[in-house]
Amino acid sequence: MTTSIHNTPRADVQYDVRDLRDMIVGWCNEVHPNRTHEDMITKLKEEFAEFSERPLDAWEMADIFIILIDLCDDLGFDIAKIVTRKMDINKNRSWKLKDGVLSHVRTA
């Protein structure tokens, strides 16, 4: 069964990605201060498997996002800058659809 996030008390609150990072990393530091990249990647795989089983479950997607943000911070990546730059790259690529999957066209 899919749980709706729209009925939660904070569903209408908007955050900047950096505010989310601070909230997520602060919580992760409290509950698992000695986590490693390997720990995070293992947990990410578990959460992705759960999401694959329930692709309409927003809570599973949130778990994936939380782990990704924590891992990016731990690796020293500024996720806002990286995503912005990657979107610039993606916008300038050619794309093709094959078997329902969108992929960029590789150039020689």
For the chain, which residues make up each domain, given as ranges? 15-104
- pLDDT of amino acid 42: 97
- pLDDT of amino acid 94: 93
Report the amino acid identity of residue 48. F
* Residue of 108, 85, 106 lying closest to 94 (CA atoms): 106
Q: Give pLDDT < 50 ranges for the chain.
A: none
CATH number of 15-104: 1.10.287.1080
Query: What's the predicted TM-score (pTM) here?
Result: 0.78
